[in-house]
Structure 1
Amino acid sequence: MDTYEQAALADVEVWKKKLMKKSGKFSRVSKKAQNKISGVIPDKVHEVITDSMKSLVTGVLAGSEYIHKEKDVSMLSFEQKEKWVREKIDTYKKTATVEGAGTGAGGIFLGLADFPLLLSIKMKFLFEAVHLYGFDVKEFEERIFILYVFQLAFSSDEKKQETLFLLENWDEQKEKLTELDWQTFQQEYRDYIDLVKMLQLVPGIGAVVGAYANYNLLQHLGETVMNCCRMRLLNGG
């Protein structure tokens, strides 16, 4: 293991400790506010999210929507792979920021359109990032891996612990994971983003909130997928 890989593995340990910290007071207050907001959100909004998540899971498991001709990365060093992944993170953050600002500025109808659009952006990014680390996204088990990375990024404290265990021990656990509980998957995601994304529907501030939220959601997803792939490649997981 070279110096770069040793530093990356050390970063994984720091990331895991941060991930396992309980939500702070602000998060708990936000959760209470979110629950109140969720209770007055029109059913149409919940339906859009649920339908989008169901379509996402179906599309990922089928694979065809997100699999395209990719670069051969077999000869790249680990450091070079990560350089390309970081470039992808920057590209997708810009895309998500522009998309969030545009839909956020358009009121509730365009704001609703942001949910499936952002999901698609996130998933396209995950497929590209996992491929750049050298995993074959044409394989069904790698697409299941991608869904669990997504779930780790956007879930509650309790679900994070469970999902991290699965990803840390992927070789041993993957044989048991022939399918995904999409109901839990979509509920965890919805609960994670409800508060900030509902603010995106508010006239006057929607564009700013949408741009800021999407930028940070992609940054967070990028950090998650990098560390999950590091665990597999550097720990032999």
Structure 2
Amino acid sequence: MVETIEELRVELKKSVEWEQDQSDLWFWEKIGRLPFKLLDKMTPAFIQNKIGTLLDELGQYVQTGGKYLSSVSSLKSYYPDNNVHTLADVELVPIVEMDEAVSKLAKNRKQLATLQGAGTGIGGIFTLSIDIPLLLGIQLKTLQDIAMCYGYDPNDKEERVYIVKVLQFVSSDIVGKQAILQQLSLIDSSDEGVKREVISELQGWREVVMTHRDQIGWKKLFQMIPIVGLLVGAFINRSAVGDLAEAGMMLYRKRKITERLAMASEDINNKTNHHIPTLEK
């Protein structure tokens, strides 16, 4: 044996002290987190577990799509006046019509989220655990359908990563938003040497978890009064889906416009090069 038991205990004590130091916060950080510690204590264990499940479900969604994956066959309902049946057909649709389709989609999803939030708000704490996966499902399906309206396939794993990044963007603070915008702008880039801002990404994910926890925690507090819980649940869910739909629309339309501009420039260059006369010897 290299070390004696006593030596090992001394080293273990050092490790334990280091771990304790890592969990210590500055005074103003402790003050700032007091309301959230109160929420943690007032939120039942099964709600806490359900919030933790959000991360697992998001991970599963990125890998396989899971139970949240939308069908491309629903495209026809978003473009009833156009002969659109596949994602390839969407490429022939003007940006303005894409925006109109997404605006109608967002309006319908906000109404659905309002009804769902009000319905689960009636039951208070007993129906709150149902509200969490339902809201996540509406959010993911809304972003997937927005993606399809702009011609992107959520069946592709890379596209699901983009969708989760948009979800992350809505919940992040200013630092996280800046990092995510840079990541989103580089998703279609072929440059593999681009440096990722990993620290800002981690901060962004922290904001996602904290936002869900805070929204659900405050909703739970107000749901002690049935009528107030109904109104708060409807408002929070409607706002969450509305903000998400707006961000999804703006990010996807910018992406589509950028792609089309690049394709147009490439076509012009090809035509110009094609018509340049060659000098004969």
Given residue 61 of structure 1, which amino acid in structure 2 is its aligned partner?
Q
Structure 2: distance between partners of 1:219 and 1:174: 34
TM-score, normalization: structure 2?
A: 0.65
Given residue 211 of structure 1, which amino acid in structure 2 is its aligned partner?
A
Deviations 1:12-70 (A, max 9, x none): xxxxxxxxxxxxxxxxx997634542354333222101113312330343025313123
1:230 to 253, 257, 264: 253
Query: What's the offset of the Cα at 1:141?
Result: 1.0
Structure 2: distance between partners of 1:61 and 1:100: 28
CA-atom RMSD in angstroms: 3.0
Are 1:131 and 2:148 matched, yes or no? yes
Structure 2: distance between partners of 1:44 and 1:64: 22
TM-score, normalization: structure 1?
A: 0.76
Identity %: 26
- 1:13 corresponds in structure 2 to none
Are 1:57 and 2:35 matched, yes or no? no
- 2:136 corresponds in structure 1 to 119
- 2:74 corresponds in structure 1 to 70
The answer (yes or no) to whether the contact 1:103–1:114 under 8 Å persists in 2 is: yes
Query: What's the offset of the Cα at 1:187?
Result: 4.1
Matched residues, number: 207
- 1:147 corresponds in structure 2 to 164
Gaps of 5+ in 2: 1-30, 76-83, 85-89, 195-200, 263-281
Cα distance change of structure 1 residues 74 and 172 upon mapping to structure 2, 3 Å threshold: closer
Gaps of 5+ in 1: 1-28, 177-181
The answer (yes or no) to whether the contact 2:116–2:131 under 8 Å persists in 1 is: yes
Relative contact order: is structure 1 or structure 2 higher (C-alpha 8 Å, sep ≥ 6)? 1
Deviations 1:68-117 (A, max 9, x none): 12323232111001100011100110111101011111011201211111
Deviates more, 1:161-170 or 1:142-151: 161-170
Query: What's the offset of the Cα at 1:140?
Result: 1.6
The answer (yes or no) to whether the contact 1:148–1:163 under 8 Å persists in 2 is: yes
Max Rg structure: 2
Deviates more, 1:118-127 or 1:161-170: 161-170
Structure 2: distance between partners of 1:107 and 1:80: 41
Cα distance change of structure 1 residues 159 and 52 upon mapping to structure 2, 3 Å threshold: same
